[in-house]
Structure 1
Amino acid sequence: MPRPTGNIRLKAARVAAGFNSQQDLADALTKTARQMGIRGLSVGVRQVRRWESEKPPWPQPDCQRALVHLLGQSLEALGFTPPWGSDGRIPDHTRRTLVAGGTTSLGLAVVPGRAAGAPQPATAGTDFEAVTRSHRRLYWSVAPTNLHPAVIAHATLGCALLPETTDSTRRTIAAALGETYLLAGRIEFFDLREPSTANDTLLLALQAAGEADDALLGSAVIAHMAFVPGWVGDRDAALERMIAARTYARRAPASAEFLAWLDAVEAECETRCGSTRTALHLIGHAEDVLTAGNEHPSPEWMDWFSPARLAAFKGNTQMIAGHLLQARETLQGALETMSPSEDKQRSVVYGDLAAVEAAAGNPEQSCEYASQALDQLAITWYATGMDRVREVRRALTPHQHERCVRDLDDRLYDWSTTLSVLSR
């Protein structure tokens, strides 16, 4: 007899509660959420299927409340494991209630061997922050699959330290923890292509930013959360998150660079939702904001944006809008002004230039740019860059018998890249 697979605990609880199908449970959860006063929560059968899979994702806070209320068991009893455990499980002596008042709790129990309530020294904050800063720099050169476990482990340490600190030390650790979870979410979304996991991680980043009372960090987190619905064409959800991000930005002295980045994020969401005219208007506003400037400096952690990045956003939107001449000029200008530290974005720009040439009917030039993108990806892997190359190859289908396209296929499907291409 084959052994049962997937999250058998949740399956058993579902059947025991009288829900014979995943759709039945999804409908009941949606109804329960309304009865509990949780607005806007609609659970679909695909979400239940993911929860009943071999590695179920940690539910979002509102879903946690509805699941626990409906099935009468804790999340752990239902087969879920918190994302911040170092080994995927939290032992009994460090277990705490992970859901309180509808929000995810960052606190973990006191580390065994340390007296309850014993405060950490003031240096704990600066030491924890220093590692966060190092991870931020390593992101641009270290393979994401190698860096991500270290970042998550560091976040786990921050969760353990937070209850043992007070006042300024607590705020320092909470801010660094928020940045750490933000970095983890960025890796999950942009590098590992795990948008659902990234959204859950970014919720933890937002809570940590709240613990630090850091409105600007909160704004950055929420803007990153807008990418998740934006990239699948859910314009309403993306814009709702952007409104929240801009609201938080108004509560802090935001630099011109930060405000321009918010415009760029919203422009990318609009582009992916088919509103290229609105996107180009937002990018034009971002350019004006950068030109005008203001007296406020950008936060140290904001190392993912520059005028060259804005030009890359603009070139991609122009290309999608069909403005090929302008897109080619914009993207070439972005390449020329990028710093050496922007290698990941460089692969994306090469991919967009390849797409421009494919749309213009220049397969040889398109393949040349795509090959340059692959050269860059061989140095610094970036899933977003590989996605651009794959899109170009699909656009080159009418020319697939030409020598340049076959040469590109030889590179795209060599041993080092085939698995990454075919696994998505």
Structure 2
Amino acid sequence: MSRAPGNVRLKSARVAAGFASQQALADAIGRSAPKLGMRGVTAGVRQVRRWESAAPPWPHPDVGRVLVHLLRQPLEELGFTPPWGQSENRPPDPMCLDPVNGTTTAAALTPVPSGTTSCLKPVRVGQDFADVTRAHRRLYWSVAPATLHPAVLGHARLGCALLSETVGGSRAVIAAALAESYLLAGRIEFFDLRQADRAGETLLRALQAAGEADDSLLGSAVLAHTAFIPGWAGRRDDAVERLVAARAYARRGPASAEFWAWLDAVEAECQTRCGNLRTALHLIRHGEDVLANGSEGASPPWMDWFDATRLAAFKGNTQLKAGHLPQARETLQSALDQLPAESGKQRTVILGDLAAVEAAAGDPEKACAYACQALEQLGTTWYATGMDRVRDVRRSLAAWQHEPCVRDLDDRLYSWGTTVSALRR
């Protein structure tokens, strides 16, 4: 039985570029990346071997850029198949023009997928796709996550199909909107559905799409979200490494003061969950200083999950974990008072933390009152992270489990509606 020839395109391009061995190409990637403004980008000989196999994986966006720089060919021509759809190498239809300037340029001559009977999509398609992405972003705050999630993934699949049929400015618009859609899906999977492994895969797709759009700030946001996964699992070094990468991408942005403060808040939460409370409090103070100093640039419209009130919520949670109960109570109450009415998900988290403060202070009645308010909000706006806070509070009330207020909380926590809803989600 004959062996599969492997990715002969990449191998031929490698040899033609003067890299006689796979190790030589791997070394060249490590040397060239810093010259292109990318630190920490490397590739080993094993990775190059996988690229030259019969089924080469799509490279990481930064590594892909270095490959294109070194070999002077697009990734598709080097034998890679993009994750958003396959393309067939055949002469392009001369009637298919660049939707940006109406000319048949080299960029416009992207191979059209087999089975496509029309020319490349008009520029309006990209805007229409992005409009739906923006609508999903707004719906996240009011629609049940289990209901919204399939719609977001379906929209992302559409984006993958459209991406292989567009070029120029329209392709960049679709790629950016696709990255947003995958980011939203990953957020739902991690924060709402508690599917960390699945979220990691989805966020990787978001990063690949952001690389196609060449949107460094969006790439930074995706990388920061990936840090939550190891951070919540107690793997501090992995979380910090991803945040170092997120900050490197943000410097290419440029990023707003709000964006920089959010990166501090993300790292602070990861440090808090790993038990490094002093470091977390330092990061939050730095984020507060960044917000106070401000910046000229505005945050991107897709960054609708963070502001000064959210930073205060991060701070209150860290103060709680550090045992600074009076400060935590004051911080969290202030954040709750300033929280916009439409921020129901964040409200459940703050109420849960306030309940935890009172439980730690030895006041079960106040703790139960806040926990019941959180459950009431969860009945309107489900949020798995908020429910986790309430369950943690209930565990901390074991010493008072025979008190009437705790029994009332149990009746609310384990009602038919709440129990079925939690199991369904």
Which whole-Å deviations, capped at 9, do the CAs of 1:336-383 have from their partners, x for residues lacking one? 111122110000000000000000000000000000000110010000
- Decide whether aligned partners of structure 1 residues 237 and 420 sit closer, same or farther in structure 2, where only a CA change above 3 A counts: farther
Contact 2:182/2:205, CA 8 A, preserved across alignment: yes
Contact 1:108/1:160, CA 8 A, preserved across alignment: no
Write the letter of the residue equivalent to 2:199: A
Q: Give, in whole Å, the separation in 1 of the partners of 2:199 and 2:142.
A: 20
2:83 corresponds, among 105, 109, 128, to: 105
Which residue is equivalent to 2:196?
195
Which residue is equivalent to 1:133?
134
Larger Rg: 2
Contact 2:85/2:164, CA 8 A, preserved across alignment: yes
Q: Give, in whole Å, the separation in 1 of the partners of 2:414 and 2:146.
A: 21
Equivalent position SS for 1:187: helix
Which residue is equivalent to 2:116?
114
Equivalent residues in 2 for 1:13-412 (5 A)?
A: 105-108=83-86, 114-115=116-117, 118-412=119-413
Which residue is equivalent to 1:25?
none
Q: Give, in whole Å, the separation in 2 of the partners of 1:111 and 1:105.
A: 13
Q: Give, in whole Å, the separation in 2 of the partners of 1:182 and 1:307.
A: 22
Write the letter of the residue equivalent to 2:277: T
Q: Give, in whole Å, the separation in 1 of the partners of 2:329 and 2:311.
A: 15
Contact 1:271/1:317, CA 8 A, preserved across alignment: yes
Write the letter of the residue equivalent to 1:329: E
Q: Give, in whole Å, the separation in 2 of the partners of 1:383 and 1:101.
A: 42
1:158 Cα deviation after fit: 0.4
Contact 1:231/1:269, CA 8 A, preserved across alignment: yes
Write the letter of the residue equivalent to 1:382: Y
Which residue is equivalent to 1:4?
none
1:190 Cα deviation after fit: 0.3
Which whole-Å deviations, capped at 9, do the CAs of 1:51-97 have from their partners, x for residues lacking one? xxxxxxxxxxx9xx99x97xx9979xxxxxxxxxxxxxxxxxxxxxx
Which whole-Å deviations, capped at 9, do the CAs of 1:301-331 have from their partners, x for residues lacking one? 0000011100000000000000000000000
1:132 Cα deviation after fit: 0.2
Contact 2:185/2:202, CA 8 A, preserved across alignment: yes
- Decide whether aligned partners of structure 1 residues 377 and 103 sit closer, same or farther in structure 2, where only a CA change above 3 A counts: farther
Q: What is the RMSD computed on CA atoms of the aligned residues?
A: 2.7
1:423 Cα deviation after fit: 7.7
Q: Give, in whole Å, the separation in 1 of the partners of 2:313 and 2:382.
A: 18
1:107 Cα deviation after fit: 2.3
- Decide whether aligned partners of structure 1 residues 195 and 368 sit closer, same or farther in structure 2, where only a CA change above 3 A counts: same
Which whole-Å deviations, capped at 9, do the CAs of 1:224-266 have from their partners, x for residues lacking one? 0000000010000000000000000001111000000000000
1:193 Cα deviation after fit: 0.4
Contact 2:163/2:174, CA 8 A, preserved across alignment: yes
Relative to the length of structure 2, the TM-score reads 0.75
Equivalent position SS for 1:340: coil
Q: Give, in whole Å, the separation in 2 of the partners of 1:394 and 1:104.
A: 47
Write the letter of the residue equivalent to 1:252: G
Q: Give, in whole Å, the separation in 1 of the partners of 2:420 and 2:198.
A: 21
Write the letter of the residue equivalent to 1:282: L
- Decide whether aligned partners of structure 1 residues 375 and 101 sit closer, same or farther in structure 2, where only a CA change above 3 A counts: farther
Q: Give, in whole Å, the separation in 2 of the partners of 1:372 and 1:386.
A: 12
Q: Give, in whole Å, the separation in 2 of the partners of 1:102 and 1:241.
A: 26
Contact 2:84/2:164, CA 8 A, preserved across alignment: no
Q: Give, in whole Å, the separation in 2 of the partners of 1:127 and 1:113.
A: 23
Q: Give, in whole Å, the separation in 2 of the partners of 1:230 and 1:114.
A: 44
Q: Give, in whole Å, the separation in 2 of the partners of 1:140 and 1:327.
A: 26
Q: Give, in whole Å, the separation in 2 of the partners of 1:289 and 1:274.
A: 24
Task: Name whichever of 336-345 and 175-184 sits farther off.
Answer: 336-345
Contact 1:358/1:395, CA 8 A, preserved across alignment: yes
1:207 Cα deviation after fit: 0.3
- Decide whether aligned partners of structure 1 residues 103 and 123 sit closer, same or farther in structure 2, where only a CA change above 3 A counts: closer
Write the letter of the residue equivalent to 1:376: Q
Q: Give, in whole Å, the separation in 2 of the partners of 1:400 and 1:173.
A: 54
Q: Give, in whole Å, the separation in 2 of the partners of 1:102 and 1:112.
A: 16
Q: Give, in whole Å, the separation in 1 of the partners of 2:277 and 2:81.
A: 36
Contact 1:108/1:159, CA 8 A, preserved across alignment: no
Contact 2:113/2:165, CA 8 A, preserved across alignment: no
Equivalent position SS for 1:327: helix
Contact 1:104/1:204, CA 8 A, preserved across alignment: no
- Decide whether aligned partners of structure 1 residues 101 and 368 sit closer, same or farther in structure 2, where only a CA change above 3 A counts: farther
Contact 2:401/2:407, CA 8 A, preserved across alignment: yes
- Decide whether aligned partners of structure 1 residues 73 and 113 sit closer, same or farther in structure 2, where only a CA change above 3 A counts: closer
- Decide whether aligned partners of structure 1 residues 286 and 348 sit closer, same or farther in structure 2, where only a CA change above 3 A counts: same
Runs of 4+ deviating beyond 6 Å:
72-75, 100-104
Write the letter of the residue equivalent to 2:293: A
1:104 Cα deviation after fit: 6.5
Q: Identity over aligned residues, as a percent?
A: 66
Contact 2:261/2:290, CA 8 A, preserved across alignment: yes
Equivalent position SS for 1:164: coil
Q: Give, in whole Å, the separation in 1 of the partners of 2:178 and 2:237.
A: 29
Write the letter of the residue equivalent to 2:350: V
Unaligned runs of 5+ in 2: 1-25, 27-42, 57-75, 88-111
Contact 1:209/1:215, CA 8 A, preserved across alignment: yes
